[in-house]
Each structure stands twice: as C-alpha cells, then as structure tokens.
Amino acid sequence: MKKSIILSILLVAVTLFSCADDKKKTEPEVKTVETKEAKVYESENIDAKFKDEKKASIFNQYINLKTALVNTNAKKASQEASNLMTAFANFGVDKNVLDATQKISESSDVEEQRKAFVDVTVEVENIMKDALQSGTIYKQYCPMAFNNEGAYWLSESKDIMNPYFGDRMLKCGRVDAEIQ
C-alpha cells in the first residue's frame, strides 16, 4: 500500500512538472523574416529612329505602358495609358483604340488592362508600318496568354519581357517578326 501511495504521489508530481514545462514552451517564438523586394524592370533605350515625331511619341508611350504591365503595376499602367491617349489624339487614331486605351487608364485591375492592351498593340503595330527611318521594332508573341489563345506585343528589344504575365512568366514568348 505504501508503494502505491508513493507511486501515486510521484505520478502526480511528474505530471505537474511536465505541465509546467509545457506552459513555458508555448510562448510564441519571434523570428525575423527578410522580405524580397519585387524587381522593377526598365525598358531599354529605343534605338529606332522615326520618320515622324508623332509616331515616335506613340511608340515611346506604348513602351512605357508595356513596361508598366511587365511590372504588374496597374497604377503606373493607368498613368502611361493616359499619356498614350494624348499621343494618339495628337496623331489621330480610330475610336476603338482610344476606347481600349481609355479602358486601361480607368482600370485598376491589371488583368483587364492586359486584355485591352491587345487592341492597343494592333493599332500601334499598324502605325509603325513604314514609320522607321532606321533601327528595328520587334513583334513578340506569347502563346500562353489568355488561356493559350496567345497575344502579341511590340518591343524595343529582342529580349522577351512579357507584359501579359509579368514576373510569373517573364521570359515566356518569342520574337515573331521585325519591323524595319
């Protein structure tokens, strides 16, 4: 009987001590986590020389818009689309492309902006035909854009910087044609 009482007391003591240790161990542990800053991509220098200053302005503003989409920056894309609308207005373009550009400028959803960018690209490509005095504009293509429908964009460089996926698939695409 003495053994069972001593064993019971010992069991209670071990339980109390082990529970006390658990309370000490449940305090939150503070860890410092370093966050990675999102990389910001810059457009390259535009080496192309244009016959018409208005067409040069359109291409420069288009590249700024494309770069904002590459960076998945809806606010910047909106600002750059407004600048592109001004360049379009100075040149004189179809109402459909102005509507698409306005949609980009008024939207805060980068995916909506990217969809409208497809229509803007078609018009800018038409404007760039026979616009160059020297240099090259690259027509690039991503087959995976918009659920594998694919989409084009224009670039100042052979390097692929995908405006339809940004960092998610930055290098997805190919040079499909050159405008000279």
Which residue is it, tokens 């700024």?
64
Count of beta carbons in the 10 Å neighbourhood of residue 119: 17
pLDDT in tens, 136-172: 999 999 999 999 999 999 999 999 999 999 989 999 9
* CA separation for the pair 99, 81 (Å, rounded): 11
Number of domains in the chain: 1
Q: Answer yes or no: is 15 within a domain.
A: no
**Does the model's pTM come out above 0.85?**
no
Q: Answer yes or no: is 102 within a domain.
A: yes
pLDDT in tens, 56-104: 999 999 999 999 999 999 999 999 999 999 999 999 888 899 999 999 9
Question: Can you give the residue range of the structural domain that contains 79?
Answer: 52-179
Q: Answer yes or no: is 69 within a domain.
A: yes
Q: Answer yes or no: is 36 within a domain.
A: no
Q: Answer yes or no: is 138 within a domain.
A: yes
Count of beta carbons in the 10 Å neighbourhood of residue 20: 9
Q: Answer yes or no: is 25 within a domain.
A: no
* CA separation for the pair 135, 121 (Å, rounded): 19
Per-residue pLDDT averaged across 98-125, rounded? 95
